[in-house]
Structure 1
Amino acid sequence: MGKSKRKQHEGQYAPLPYALLKSDAWRSLSGVAVKVFLELHTRFNGSNNGKLTLSYAEAAEALGMGKATVQRAYAELVEKGLVALEREGNWYHRQAHEWRLTIKPVQTAKGTTPPTHDWRNFRTSKTKRGSETVPSGASVVPFQNPSRCSGSKSEPVRAKSRP
């Protein structure tokens, strides 16, 4: 089978740059936001960036989630700079929002505008985890039994000795 035949069977694909995949913005996305981003990306045909439509209801149906969940995912994608709202939709005229992927160029009548890559400006506040944290000095096991109000004397905690 020739190379061109093989490519016809593969269909379209969504290339994602490693710089994006290794960014704070991408790595901090929720799973729902990733799914919405990829679904929106499938609407990109090479010349329609800035006019991508995927309504909350359509995304909810396609991805098996609630409309409010999809709305939160879009808000997360905008906050982290992966998508931008180009034109607000109108519920009464049944028009969905029009979105722009910040990783893709925009075709206009005046020419091509390069991608803005807004996601590069997103920074997470790094928190230390596990062994990276500084020990607080607090003991997990108390050195003495807690004092009781009954007046009994506190004694040091000792491991039970086995015979």
Structure 2
Amino acid sequence: MDLVTPGLGLIFWQAITFLLVLFLLSKFAWKPIMSSLKEREETIEGALRSAEQAKQEMMKLKADNEKLLDEARAERDLMMRKAQQTADAIVEEAKEKASAESSKIVESARLAIQSERQAALEDIRKQVATLSIEIAEKLLRNQLKEERAQRELVNQLVKESNLV
């Protein structure tokens, strides 16, 4: 059983070695390890704070973007309404111009028709007068073939004219 239980001297030297290693580690290793752990912890906390700030800024930017989008939509709607009003005004103006132009054309055509009608009536009057003269001439020639008829006509015209 001696093999299983350690001796008192061995336990003493192991305890002293352990305490010495513990002292050396606490003197030289624990401080740098602890300071690096603390530094790492602070870095992580700083990164978390930065992440939280970035998250807050992202939310603020998102809100600003939404506001800008709403403003852009409102401006777009306003521009669309103005464009529609302008288009309606242009269409209305074009209708009015077309109506005025068609009225001018109708009036011009009416005047042209009226002047053509007057010219045609004047031409018909001239033709009727010419035909009347020709018919009268032919009738007079037939009636005045004899000399006696010619004299009677001259005497009758002289009486009617009150020259005698």
TM-score (norm 1): 0.19
Flag the structure with more relative contact order, 1 or 2, with Cα contacts below 8 A and sequence separation at least 6.
1
More strand by share: 1
- In terms of fraction of residues, the more helix-rich structure is 2
Bigger CA radius of gyration: 2
